[in-house]
Amino acid sequence: MDAQRVPILGTTAQSIDNAEDRDKFSAMLDRIGVDQPEWRALSSMDDIHAFVQKVGYPVLVRPSYVLSGAAMNVCSNEEELTRFLALAANVSKKHPVVVSKFMLNTKEVEMDAVARNGEIIAYAISEHVEYAGVHSGDATIMFPAQKLYVETVRRIKKISGQIARELNISGPFNIQYLARENEIKVIECNLRASRSFPFVSKVLKINLIDIATRIMLGLPVEKPRKSFFDFDYVGVKASQFSFNRLQGTDPVLGVDMASTGEVGCLGEDANAALLKAMLSVGQRVPEKSVLISAGDPKHKNMLLEPARLLASRGYELFATKGTAAFFDQYHIPCTRVFLPNEAEDEKPGVDTATLPMALDMLHSKAIELVISIPKEIDLEGVNNGYKVRRAAIDLNIPVISNPRLAGAFVKAFMAMAPAATTSLETAQQALDALDINAWDEY
């Protein structure tokens, strides 16, 4: 359209191309001194392995064509990289693979904003509950951000202003950032309204799309007063999944989007808003029992405090082998459960009917919440963690497969019931403490 000289309202086609074309956008960030994760578009297996050897694992890999609809993956070692690249239809100059350095234990932060001639008029900075690695469409988003350093927010505002000026943006845009300590890196910039625009607009009570439309039409717009950005409530957007309707799928969150909807909730604080949002998408506060399978050591550490909180309220904790041994080191009471095909190897000659089997307990509804964190992406087949998660989904038992989200959920319903002494009281008090107000009452 631009080549045919059709008038385009808002940001120019050239600026959109400069943001969408990875090479042009990367060169622009380098030119204005803005940091980004190291990446390359590579066309041979040798080049891929050489780049990975340079930046180190883990890496995010996005082949041009892959089987099974998997668009990208995070690879943590050479074996995973080789297996995943084998799924690609080909790797060539015509179909290069984009390989990026993947940052572990890093927050993802989003800036939704509207600009006029490169000047930001209104904005919203939100943070993901989950660490980077979960698609922004699946992530649980909190606005205003609750756990960002003041310096991190300042730098994000500054960098967003630089990018808006350089692209001369007139209209809506969204920038995604990685933030660890006060180290800020830009993931991408979309010169359009993002899926979080309606959410942050409702929390702000400022219609960002209305402002963007007026700017694009050349109509006068006033900057919102700073007081509009100070409010004494919190909004949380949680994603809705339909794993129960997709037979055989593993209910885990990753770099591919899997959600089929989302719910935004408001609360007087972060715990209330998060709990409302989680309940709205199908989670339930357990009354007596939780199964925890914490995966890798770093995930066990993340779930240590939530497990201690659960045990302190009298919840009956069940855990898989490695997690049970880890909790035992910290004197957190739990019962070890056996995964499929694990009992025979662990206790040769013992009657397996006397052992607490995870799948049997799920079928008997002895477990009310499953926290199951996958150790790694399994490209070859079915593993025990998958069997437990899938069984829970099929039996309509809530499953959380992200350690940060699981910890936040547990802490939220615990905080909403500060006077509770038992697990049953905790569940009831947490639900009773939730005030249900109309949007305009906040």
Confidence of residue 66 (pLDDT cuts 50, 70, 90): very low
Cα torsion for 370, 371, 376, 380, to the nearest 10°? Answer: 10
- Does 245 or 206 have the greater pLDDT score? 206
Confidence of residue 375 (pLDDT cuts 50, 70, 90): confident
Is 376's pLDDT higher than 80? Answer: no
Q: Closest Cα partner for 60 from 48, 42, 75? A: 75
**In angstroms, how far is CA 72 from the centroid of its own chain?**
15
Rounded Cα gap, residues 342 and 344, in angstroms: 6
Per-residue pLDDT at 351: 57
Mean pLDDT of the 122-130 span: 96
Residues paired with residue 178 on neighbouring β-strands, in sequence order: 108, 185
Instruction: Give this prediction's pTM.
Output: 0.89
Confidence of residue 45 (pLDDT cuts 50, 70, 90): confident
Per-residue pLDDT at 89: 54
How does the average pLDDT of the chain come out, rounded? 88
Strand blocks (E) in 13-96: 39-42, 59-62, 73-75
Mean pLDDT of the 136-163 span: 94
Is 311's pLDDT higher than 80? Answer: yes
Is 31's pLDDT higher than 70? Answer: yes
Rounded Cα gap, residues 193 and 190, in angstroms: 8
Per-residue pLDDT at 381: 43
**Residues in CB range of 258: below 8 A, 6 or more apart:** 135, 138, 241, 243, 249
Angle among Cα 58, 74, 103 to the nearest 5 degrees reads 45
Rounded Cα gap, residues 146 and 125, in angstroms: 10
SS (H, E, C) 352-403: HHHCCEHHHHHHCCCCCEEEECCCCCCCCCCCHHHHHHHHHHHCCCCEECCH
- Does 210 or 63 have the greater pLDDT score? 210
Mean pLDDT of the 231-250 span: 89
Highest mean pLDDT among 146-150, 240-244, 253-257, 407-411: 407-411
- Does 163 or 6 have the greater pLDDT score? 163
pLDDT digits (tens, 9 = 90+) for 319-355: 999 999 999 999 999 999 998 877 666 555 555 566 7
- The mean-pLDDT minimum among 5-9, 195-199, 265-269 falls in 5-9
Q: Which two tokens stand for residue 18?
A: 């400069």
Is 227's pLDDT higher than 90? Answer: no
**Residues in CB range of 30: below 8 A, 6 or more apart:** none
- The mean-pLDDT minimum among 103-112, 114-123, 266-275 falls in 103-112
Cα torsion for 159, 163, 168, 174, to the nearest 10°? Answer: -100
CA Rg value for the chain:
24
Q: How far is CA 73 from CA 105, 254, 292, 407, in A?
A: 17, 8, 25, 24
Element (H, E) at 178: strand 171-180
Count CA within 13 A, CB hemisphere, residue 76. Answer: 8
Rounded Cα gap, residues 55 and 99, in angstroms: 10
Is 72's pLDDT higher than 90? Answer: no
DSSP-derived 3-state class of residue 273? helix
Per-residue pLDDT at 39: 87
Confidence of residue 80 (pLDDT cuts 50, 70, 90): confident
Per-residue pLDDT at 378: 46
Element (H, E) at 29: helix 22-32
Per-residue pLDDT at 69: 39
Per-residue pLDDT at 401: 94
Query: One-letter amino acid identity for 351?
Result: D
| Burial state string for 336-352 with b = 16 or more CB within 10 A and e = fewer than 16 | bbbbeebbeeeeeeeee
- Does 6 or 164 have the greater pLDDT score? 164
Q: Closest Cα partner for 238 from 266, 198, 278, 195? A: 278
- Does 95 or 220 have the greater pLDDT score? 220
